[in-house]
């Protein structure tokens, strides 16, 4: 199978963002002595979510942290939260930029393979191609193509 059934954005929302939040929460709690409630408040999630994140740390977390760049970025983000140097908007932006980095460096492909074992990551260029193509232009061309087929 060349193209995935699970879309990259689904994978990011269901796996990558929770993994990033869990890692930041873990640092806040273990290194900076935050309670789960305090960490939850800083990360904009519930205490129950923090508890769940921490109890379900496994494969994807370790895989993301293999990247020195991501590990160091997460450490600095946690420090920035503690020092009140990162607000909610900046945290959201940081998380999306880490997700972009994961996509750009094909780390998402390896994570994706764990969810869809028959996915041929060598042939799938979905993430790479979508960053190259202008969204509005693509959709306009698709609509033209559909209208052309309708007239036939």
Tens of pLDDT along 101-132? 999 888 888 888 888 988 888 888 888 888 78
What is the reported pLDDT for 143? Answer: 93
Cα(117)–Cα(57) distance, rounded to whole angstroms?
Answer: 21
What is the reported pLDDT for 132? Answer: 83
Within-domain flag for 50: yes
Q: For the beta carbon of residue 4, count every other beta carbon within 10 angstroms.
A: 21
Cα(110)–Cα(131) distance, rounded to whole angstroms?
Answer: 18
What is the reported pLDDT for 59? Answer: 55
Within-domain flag for 1: no
The structural domain count of the chain equals 1
List CB contacts of 115: < 8 A, sequence separation 6 or more: 6, 11, 15
* Crossing angle (nearest 10°) for helices 88-104 and 17-30: 120
Q: In terms of residue numbers, what domain contains 16?
A: 8-151
What is the reported pLDDT for 62? Answer: 66
Within-domain flag for 3: no
Mean pLDDT for the chain overall: 88
- Per residue in 58-80, pLDDT (tens digit) is 556 667 777 889 999 999 999 99
pLDDT of 91 higher than 90: yes
Task: Please tell me which residue, 120 or 38, carries the higher pLDDT value.
Answer: 38
Within-domain flag for 2: no
What is the reported pLDDT for 111? Answer: 86
Within-domain flag for 137: yes
What is the reported pLDDT for 15? Answer: 86
Helices (H) and strands (E) in the chain, counts: 10, 0
pTM of the model: 0.83
DSSP 8-class letter at 121: T
What is the reported pLDDT for 13? Answer: 92
């Amino acid at each position: 199978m060349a193209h995935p059934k699970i879309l990259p954005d689904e994978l990011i929302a269901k796996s990558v963002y929770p993994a990033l939040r869990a890692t930041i929460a873990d640092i806040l709690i273990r290194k900076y002595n935050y309670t789960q409630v305090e960490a939850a408040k800083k990360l904009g999630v519930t205490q129950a979510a923090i508890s769940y994140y921490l109890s379900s740390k496994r494969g994807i977390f370790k895989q993301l942290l293999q990247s020195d760049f991501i590990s160091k970025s997460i450490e600095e983000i946690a420090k920035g939260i503690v020092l009140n140097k990162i607000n909610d908007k900046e945290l959201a932006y940081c998380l999306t930029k880490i997700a972009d980095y994961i996509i750009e460096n094909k780390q998402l492909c390896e994570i994706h393979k764990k969810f869809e074992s028959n996915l041929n990551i060598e042939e799938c260029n979905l993430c790479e191609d979508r960053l190259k193509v202008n969204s509005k232009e693509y959709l306009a061309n698709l609509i033209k193509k559909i209208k052309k087929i309708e007239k036939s």
